[in-house]
A and B are shown apart, each in its own frame.
Chain A
Amino acid sequence: EVQLVESGGGLVQPGGSLRLSCAASQFTFSGHWMSWVRQAPGKGLELVAHINPHGGEQSYADSVKGRFTISRDNAKNSLYLQMNSLRAEDTAVYYCARDPYTKVFENWGQGTLVTVSS
């Protein structure tokens, strides 16, 4: 069974930084597009960033462009999200998700909560 386990969330002050990690297992990680999707409290889903299997192509939501960086380490079966210059509106549960070539998110982690507040 595919497993995605996020970590690294927490409370951070506005302007601060945080790095999220997602440990993947039970599938060929290096063969899949991976994404970070977030959900603000009581709100809908928003794709934050996604990255191609080899890490050479990334795309970002306009709301995080220039502040967030998605990366991956295929040797470690891990996905990352470096978040800088955090704002209150970045407060959300952040999910790691896998796209199995069908351009939808078949597998999701349990999510990690990021709270940006002073």
Chain B
Amino acid sequence: SQQGEEDPQALSIQEGENATMNCSYKTSINNLQWYRQNSGRGLVHLILIRSNEREKHSGRLRVTLDTSKKSSSLLITASRAADTASYFCATVRSGTYKYIFGTGTRLKVLA
């Protein structure tokens, strides 16, 4: 079974609003990564946060990681219609090269 679980499963917001999605995982990790997928195509890497980091920014993206709670959040600020996609978190279990993806959050940004 997949390790990561994203919450919410689906999110619909207006353009310009912020979107927050959360990810929980079960075991100790090397790092956590967020990916975007448009219409069932290949995934695009957004950001990687290491297990010893607590927050990271990249453009309109802000990621936090709480290893004590085994959770992460992705914030997209000032959302655009082009941000409409599915977002997945992926964890790399400590001591392995095995990537475990969550179930994804489907984000819809309405123009």
* A-B complex is real: no
